[in-house]
Amino acid sequence: MSLPPHALEIDPESSLQFTITRGPAKDGSDDVSRCTMTLRHPGHTNKYLAFKVKTTQPRRYLVRPNQGIVAPNSSETVTIILVGKDREVLWSSYERLGQSALDHSKDKFLVQSCEVSNEFSAKFNNEPRLGEGGQYKKELVEELTAMWNSASSNSKLEVYNKKLHVRHVADTGATAAGGAAAGGAPGRANTSLPTSFQEGVDKRNNADKMSPEQLSDEVSNLRRKYDELVAFSVNLTAERDILNNTLEQTKRDLNREMATRTALEKQGLKVGSRSQDAKSSKSSGGVSSKTLLIVVVVACLSAIRATNLGSLDMLGSVPMFGGMLGFDSSAKKMVRDEL
């Protein structure tokens, strides 16, 4: 089946194979399980093609570069490294259950490609690539990321998607001695400097006394130790990326937790203030009614007592109060009786 013009040719086509070892490989180069993938522009269009590599396990695999652009009739090599800690876990599963423990991997990769404008591709021409994986500088990486973010929401832009499965195969030729030489114990990731790097220091100090065969062997040893240092740096980079991802995830979880707690506290404060206001108003109304009732009762009792004692006669001399209280008529009656 012919590919669309915006599609890249991918090698391998359907699956990526990672060789799992306990220690360094047979050639003594390094102890990293890696796989390379070639992306080729078939030249069906004169425009540059942008690519992006995604995986279902971003913490398990280190992809370099994970995005970029490819010129017509050219290719790009992508290196995928299996993180040392996960490699040790897979090797432990192989030791317990055999190859069947590795045959049903659910890890997958997705390679996306699309056409980009000439103005966009011109920014990447003659730009130096950084690091072992050939990464672009930070500004270009940010522009690529923004382009792919906009491509996901642009329905008019045609994007080619290619899925690749992952196969893990155990290398039974790797020995436990090789793992010990790499400075790591079985079941733990090798994150310390290889002890074999210190071997042969005295021999290099006496290089002028060595024969050509010894010098050749020493050069081979130096090359192997250099490869060990490269593998060590790759492991450190992978561990750094894992820690950064974990830190970012923890920050996001903490922010969500703080936002949720703040919202709950605000809701609780509103409900509490309303109930408190209702209680205060109810309480204030009850106290005033009781006070008024007590005052009325006391006044009535005082008036009754004063009436019984005759203390209210003095109010009869008051013009207005005397008439209101009926003292005028009683006084006139008393005068008639005296006459």
pLDDT digits (tens, 9 = 90+) for 78-126: 999 999 889 989 998 898 888 888 888 899 999 999 999 989 888 888 7
Pairing of strands 15-20, 49-55: unpaired
- The confidence score (pLDDT) of residue 54 equals 94
Instruction: Evaluate if residue 49 carries a pLDDT over 50.
Output: yes
Mean pLDDT, the chain, whole residue set: 76
What letter represents residue 310's amino acid? G
Confidence of residue 182 (pLDDT cuts 50, 70, 90): very low
Distance of alpha carbon 11 from alpha carbon 76, whole angstroms: 11
Q: Cβ(55)–Cβ(63) under 8 Å? A: yes
pLDDT digits (tens, 9 = 90+) for 254-274: 988 888 888 888 887 655 555
Higher pLDDT, 134 or 162: 162
User: Cα 302 to chain center, whole Å?
Assistant: 80
Of 94-108, 180-194, 234-248, 299-313, the poorest mean pLDDT is in: 180-194
- The confidence score (pLDDT) of residue 215 equals 77
Instruction: Evaluate if residue 127 carries a pLDDT over 50.
Output: yes
Q: Cβ(218)–Cβ(207) under 8 Å? A: yes
Distance of alpha carbon 56 from alpha carbon 66, whole angstroms: 14
- The confidence score (pLDDT) of residue 166 equals 95
**Torsion of Cα atoms, 96 then 99 then 104 then 107, to 10°:** 90
- Backbone region of residue 331 per phi and psi (left: phi > 0; alpha: psi in -120 to 50; beta: other values): alpha
Q: Cβ(71)–Cβ(41) under 8 Å? A: yes
What's the rounded mean pLDDT across residues 280-302? 67
Of 51-65, 150-164, 195-209, 307-321, the poorest mean pLDDT is in: 195-209
Of 75-79, 126-130, 157-161, 335-339, the poorest mean pLDDT is in: 335-339
pLDDT digits (tens, 9 = 90+) for 147-163: 888 887 777 888 999 99
**Torsion of Cα atoms, 100 then 22 then 88 then 238, to 10°:** -130
Of 17-31, 170-184, 220-234, 247-261, the poorest mean pLDDT is in: 170-184
Instruction: Evaluate if residue 211 carries a pLDDT over 90.
Output: no
Residue 125 has phi, psi (to 5 degrees) of: -70, 135
Angle (deg, nearest 10), helices 212-309 and 84-97: 100
pTM above 0.75, yes or no: no
Q: Cβ(40)–Cβ(19) under 8 Å? A: no
In residues, how long is the chain?
339
What's the rounded mean pLDDT across residues 206-213? 68
Confidence of residue 288 (pLDDT cuts 50, 70, 90): low
